[in-house]
Amino acid sequence: MDKIVIRGGQKLSGSVRISGAKNSALPILAAAMMADSPSILHNVPALKDIQTMMEVLGFLGVQCEKMEPNSVRVDPNGLHQFKAPYNLVRRMRASVSLLGPLLGKFKRAVVSMPGGCVIGPRPIDLHIKGLSALNAKIQVEHGYVVADGTSMRGSDVFLGGRFGSSVLATANVMMAACLTPGVTTLESAACEPEIVDLAQFLKKMGAQIEGEGTHVIRIEGQTSLKGAEHTVIPDRIEAGTYLIAGAMTGGRVEIQNVHYRHLFAVIDKLREAGAYIESRQDTITLRQEDPLKVVDVITLPYPGFPTDMQAQMMALMSITDGISVITEKIYPERFMHISELNRLGAKISLEGSSAVIVGRKKLSGAQVMASDLRASAALILAGLVAEGETQVHRVYHLDRGYERIEEKLRKLGADIERVPETQEEKVTVGEEL
């Protein structure tokens, strides 16, 4: 396993190009199996989760071939089975987005339940509710979702849950509905840009969809879909992470290949915190010249402040003079990063699903452990400003969602490198868990 070693104190300055969106590319790769011919996808990020999805698709018979660094050719013609086994699905929760395409294409699906993860329980009741509303017969047995879609037909589906809309449940039902006879209307659908991007790809394949990006999506089922060429949208969470890196180090960071509107809630909060941000075409520039100001944050479904930026915002508030409160409304247990940030000298306490952060002038470098994708990013950000050396262990969490993060940060002037863990670290780090 590798670790990332950072020596804090460098102001970041320069330009960084944002990669394709992980959370768009994953359902789009799954959707490509629904076509009767190959698709070509561009701006696909080179990430572990993408590799995992391609392996799962390969197991089902869908051949994914890397054409250039970030383009993939997906050929569905070898699709020969509809069972996604536990040993593959457990590696990546987003495999649940195979349910809809398999039901749409095969009218059968057997997909392992994804299980929980460190950010909290990851139920799929809304996925099951939505697909059942299309008259799919669904059983959960021996840890698998077993679905029979032979008598599916279009219907009205309400997809709102306790925490608002569900992104992948919206994706699953929308994909299944594209090949289900009749008209399906999704109420309280997720509005995330990744859902819009998936719908754009499905429409290029011949799907009849309208309303994507709103809470009401209408799909008219087709009998078949054809392969299409599509460029994945930029990753708004990667982009927000680099903006916060610039704000934390008091630098000037230009991020290229980004959709300003996808990031509006984050930009709004960073401006409230004292950052100067301007945008033109597909570039956003942040300058942090004034002292940071504390802000309170509540995570909400899009277009609200994204939960996937919560940990990174906490790192920023950890070094901002004053008291701030960050409330997590999407995953109330998504606070694994608090204890590790406190090891770096932060002063954060948890009151229910709200974190109270007392900003400190200085953090001090230490050995910390990554736990989930975005928590890992927050530790890297904190290491950029902590005095001395910070070592972030278990960086495989990072590699799931950030393409070459240490290279991109080094290009901005960070003193950062990726090194293999020593034999002794491999043992002790494992023991700590």
d(CA 258, CA 268): 16
- Which of these segments, 34-42, 98-106, 125-133, 388-396, binds ligand EPZ (CB under 6 A)? 125-133
Task: Write out the two tokens for 286.
Answer: 């942040």
Do 205 and 226 contact (CB within 8 A), yes or no? yes
Specify the residue for token string 């409330």. Answer: 327
CB of 221 to ligand EPZ, least distance (A): 22
Asked if 144 touches ligand EPZ (CB under 6 A), the answer is no
Residues 6 or more apart whose Cβ sits within 8 Å of residue 3? 391, 392, 393, 394, 395, 418, 419, 420, 421, 425
CB of 146 to ligand EPZ, least distance (A): 17
Q: Which of 188, 241, 307, 318 binds ligand EPZ (CB under 6 A)?
A: 307
Closest CA to 364 of 381, 343, 348: 343
Within a 10 A sphere around the Cβ of 430, how many other Cβ atoms? 11
Q: What is the DSSP letter of 226?
A: -
| Beta strands per DSSP E along 303-347 | 323-327
One character per residue 393-422, x = contact with ligand EPZ (rule: CB under 6 A): --------x---------------------
One character per residue 165-204, x = contact with ligand EPZ (rule: CB under 6 A): -xxxx-----------------------------------
Burial 201-213 (b: 16+ CB within 10 A, else e): bbbbbbbebeebb
d(CA 291, CA 115): 43
Nearer to ligand EPZ, 232 or 363 (CB): 232
Nearer to ligand EPZ, 252 or 262 (CB): 262
Asked if 249 touches ligand EPZ (CB under 6 A), the answer is no
CB of 208 to ligand EPZ, least distance (A): 24
Task: Write out the two tokens for 29.
Answer: 């790769």
Asked if 98 touches ligand EPZ (CB under 6 A), the answer is no
- Which of these segments, 65-73, 116-124, 149-157, 271-279, binds ligand EPZ (CB under 6 A)? 116-124
64 as an active site residue: the answer is: no
Asked if 253 touches ligand EPZ (CB under 6 A), the answer is no
CB of 201 to ligand EPZ, least distance (A): 15
Asked if 373 touches ligand EPZ (CB under 6 A), the answer is yes
Nearer to ligand EPZ, 301 or 345 (CB): 301
- Which of these segments, 51-59, 160-168, 222-230, 343-351, binds ligand EPZ (CB under 6 A)? 160-168
User: What is the side-by-side strand order in the sheet with 216-220?
Assistant: 156-158, 183-187, 216-220, 208-210
Asked if 335 touches ligand EPZ (CB under 6 A), the answer is no
Asked if 374 touches ligand EPZ (CB under 6 A), the answer is yes
Nearer to ligand EPZ, 242 or 292 (CB): 242
Residues 6 or more apart whose Cβ sits within 8 Å of residue 43? 19, 20, 70, 71, 231, 232, 233, 234
Within a 10 A sphere around the Cβ of 80, how many other Cβ atoms? 9
Task: Write out the two tokens for 98.
Answer: 């195979």
CB of 78 to ligand EPZ, least distance (A): 25
Range list of H helices, 122-235: 125-133, 167-178, 193-204
CB of 287 to ligand EPZ, least distance (A): 27
Nearer to ligand EPZ, 165 or 222 (CB): 165
Q: How big is the site for ligand EPZ, counted in residues (CB under 6 A)?
A: 24
Q: Which of 64, 117, 178, 191 is catalytic?
A: 117
Do 265 and 303 contact (CB within 8 A), yes or no? yes
One character per residue 13-52, x = contact with ligand EPZ (rule: CB under 6 A): ---------xx--x--------------------------
Nearer to ligand EPZ, 233 or 363 (CB): 233
What is the helix, strand, coil percentage profile of the chain, to 5?
35, 30, 35
Do 216 and 185 contact (CB within 8 A), yes or no? yes
Residues at the contact surface with ligand EPZ, assessed by CB under 6 A:
22-23, 26, 94, 122-127, 161-163, 166-169, 307-308, 330-331, 373-374, 401
* Residues with a known catalytic role: 117
